[in-house]
Structures are given as C-alpha cells and as structure tokens.
C-alpha cells in the first residue's frame, strides 16, 4: 500500500480499493467485533477520517457508490462531493416514494386540486395553513415595489404598487414561516434587488437586529461594527430559524437583452437579475443536487407581448433552477405566483407546487395554468399532498 501511495498516478479509486481490501481482510482475521476503521487507520498510518471516507466510497452495500458520477470522479474531493449529492438525492427520492405510497382517492378531480393548490389571498395567511416540514423546496419573487422592484427605468410592463416598507415587513414575517414549512436541508430560491441585498442576506441567515442597539438578538453581533465578520459568515448559528446563505449572487442573464442606445446615460444596460439560493440548516447541511454548472443562467426573457407579469420569468429558467434543489415528484411552494411560470416549471419537470397570489388577475392566470397542467396529469388533491384538502378547503 505505502509503495503504491508514492506513485504519481495512484488514483483515489485505487487507493480506496487497497484500503477496502486491507480493512476487510483484517475484519476477517480478527472478527467484526474486534476490528474497526480506527484500527485500520493505525495499521496503515492514515487518519481515521480519511479511512472512514474511503470506506464509504467503496461500500458496495451503498447504492450511491455505484453512481457513474461517483465512479467516474477524477479526484478524491470530487468523489466525496458526488457521494454526498447522490446520498442526498436518495433521501429526497425516498420521501417522494413514501408520500406516493399513501392511500389516494381513485376519483380524479384535477379542477378541485388546482383550486386548492392556488390560494387567492395574503401569503401570510396561506403559509400558516401549511404543515411543518412539508415542503421540499420554495421559490419566491417578493413584491419589492418602487422603480427597482418593478423592472426599473427599462420596464415595459405594469409596475408593482407597493413600497419598500411593505416588502420588508412582508419578508420579515415570511422568512420564519418559510423556514418552518421547509424540510431540513431544503432550499429556497429568493429573487432580490441590489438595494435589498444586505438586508435580505442577513435576515435569511437568521439575524434579527435590535433597532436601538444594533445588536443581533441571537449572536449579539453589531450590524455596523461587525459588518466584515457578518459578510464572512453564512448563517447566524444561534438563530432558531437560520438559512445557510451563499453570499455570492446567482444571476439570470437575459441573453436577448442588448443595448440599443436609448438607455439612461448613467446606467449600463441591465442584463441580469440576481437571486439567492439559501438552504434550511438545522441538523442537516443543505446540498445542491448538481455540481455541473456555474452561477450565471443564460435564458432569453419572455417577449413583451407574452408577458403576464412585470416579473415574468421564463419557465425553462425556473426549471433549470429547480433541478439544482429538488427531485421529480417533490412538492414545493411559492408565496407569489404572479405569472404562473413556477406552476409551468414545476409540472413541466414532474414536480408539484402550491402557490399563493393576492392580485385578482394574476390569481386567475395562475389558476388556469394549474387547471390545464393538472387536467393533463389527471391529479386529485391528495396526489399533490395528503393534507391539501384538509388544510385548504373552505
């Protein structure tokens, strides 16, 4: 083993097979009760942590180790990362299978399923009806209002008639509820404007700052004096509802957005819209289910004549984002469906979603999209969620 370890071409896979053979042979010699990974580590002069990981990578009883993404990994670190992803996928799929196995009515009623899954009213009332730990993902494009939140100077659609105070109050109350309804380790996709970047990031991380002292009620860090420390940490570890937030923004780049010479002279053409990916972190570390893409998403915007909402995102973009954070069959939520694009994205990728929408026109749009999609799939309410009819029937 040690002679081979010094070879430049000694791959992680080869090293893993050596460690597995040595470990299994010693168990066979001394018995499983009398031998452990720590003893193998001492025997071949490796750290216990290293041995433990290699034994996981070569455990034939674990289906995730047979994944091509693990088998074909070129480096040890990549193999470890892919194994974590495959294990997390397996857990998520197991939840989907468990939910699918629950008794369901044979009577198909897709129209009722649509009416129950599209809520007409305040999202703060809607989310309180959702049981704890019941959603696998969440998407939200909050109504920020103002020029920035309504598409800015370059918007060719209607504006959102809300102010910043309304938007911040809404989010402050919703973040804790979203944390409650999401399963541990699940993700929220949250669109934001640059104006709100710091406020949203810190509040998602679980910080709650006292308006008089400026101190976080949980970690006691100061919003001004500790700004560098806050910028270098991904969550408030003492908060009872913390999301792990990557501070680097993800960007939707509108590949069809080009400068045409009429923009305001102090601004460059706005080609991107940013969003956070934040994972609920309690006992489980959130893991993205793909590692094969960057943080810039190139998708053309929805043509103005087809745009159903000022913040209408193309459903193919949302489908791509959902592939990073969820598995087919999983149930998600959206606190403001707007154009209904998230409904198209969810059912277009074999996922399910429940949404809220306050505006009358956008509610009707979302409802019709849901009816169309659910009729095609012939789904009834309990096929979306076993608790849907009980929680949302009038």
Spatial contact of 133 and 184, defined as CB atoms under 8 Å apart: yes
Tens digit of each residue's pLDDT (9 = 90 or more) over 77-105: 999 999 999 999 999 999 999 888 877 76
Half-sphere exposure of residue 21, counting CA atoms within 13 Å on the CB side? Answer: 7
Shared domain for 258 and 327, answered yes or no, is yes
Q: Which of 48, 81, 100 is the last residue of a domain?
A: 100
Say whether both 120 and 7 belong to one domain: no
> What is the domain range of residue 269?
110-196+241-392
> Residue 334's domain is classified under what CATH number?
3.40.50.150
Span 27-52, mean pLDDT? 93
pTM of the model: 0.85
Do 256 and 179 fall within a single domain?
A: yes
Residue 61 shares a structural domain with residue 23: yes
Whether residues 189 and 245 fall in one domain: yes
Are 357 and 336 a contacting pair, CB within 8 Å? Answer: yes
Highest mean pLDDT among 9-13, 74-78, 136-140, 278-282: 136-140
Highest mean pLDDT (candidates 62-71, 162-171, 338-347)? 338-347
pLDDT higher than threshold 50 for residue 151: no
Helix 360-377 to helix 110-117 angle (10° resolution) is 140
> For residues 347 and 293, is the Cβ–Cβ distance under 8 A?
no
Say how many domains are in the chain. Answer: 2
Cross-strand pairs, 296: 251
Task: State whether 30 and 170 are in the same domain.
Answer: no
**Mean local confidence (pLDDT), 120-134:** 96
């Amino acid at each position: 083993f040690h002679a081979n370890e010094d070879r430049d071409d000694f791959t992680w896979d080869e090293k893993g097979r050596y460690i597995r053979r040595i470990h299994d042979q010693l168990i066979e010699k001394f018995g499983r009760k009398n031998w452990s990974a720590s003893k193998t580590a001492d025997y071949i002069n490796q750290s216990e942590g290293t041995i433990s990981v290699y034994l996981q990578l070569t455990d034939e009883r674990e289906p995730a180790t047979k994944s091509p993404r693990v088998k074909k990994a070129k480096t040890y670190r990549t193999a470890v990362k892919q194994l974590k992803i495959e294990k997390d996928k397996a857990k998520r799929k197991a939840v989907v299978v468990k939910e699918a196995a629950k008794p369901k009515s044979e009577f198909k009623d897709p129209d009722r399923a649509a009416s129950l899954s599209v809520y007409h009213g305040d999202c703060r009332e809607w989310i309180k009806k959702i049981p704890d730990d019941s959603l696998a993902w969440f998407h939200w494009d909050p109504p920020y209002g103002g020029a920035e939140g309504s598409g800015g100077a370059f918007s060719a659609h209607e504006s959102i008639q809300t102010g910043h105070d309304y938007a911040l109050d809404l989010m402050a109350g919703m973040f804790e509820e979203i944390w409650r309804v999401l399963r541990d380790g699940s993700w929220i996709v949250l669109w934001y404007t640059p104006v709100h970047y710091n406020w949203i990031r810190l509040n998602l991380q679980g910080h709650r700052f006292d308006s008089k002292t400026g101190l976080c009620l949980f970690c006691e860090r100061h919003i001004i004096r500790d700004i560098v420390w806050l910028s270098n940490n991904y969550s408030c570890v003492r908060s009872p509802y913390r999301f792990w937030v990557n501070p680097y923004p993800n960007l939707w780049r509108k590949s069809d957005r080009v400068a045409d010479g009429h923009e305001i002279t102090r601004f460059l053409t706005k080609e991107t819209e940013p969003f956070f990916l934040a994972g609920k972190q309690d006992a489980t570390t959130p893991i993205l289910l793909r590692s094969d893409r960057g943080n810039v998403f190139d998708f053309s915007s929805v043509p103005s004549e087809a745009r159903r909402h000022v913040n209408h995102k193309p459903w193919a973009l949302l489908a791509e984002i959902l592939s990073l954070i969820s598995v087919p069959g999983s149930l998600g939520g959206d606190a403001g469906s707007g154009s209904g694009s998230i409904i198209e994205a969810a059912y277009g990728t074999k996922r399910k979603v429940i949404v809220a929408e306050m505006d009358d026109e956008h509610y009707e749009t979302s409802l019709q999209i849901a009816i169309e999609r659910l009729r095609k799939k012939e789904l009834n309410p309990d096929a979306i969620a076993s608790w849907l009819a009980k929680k949302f029937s009038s």
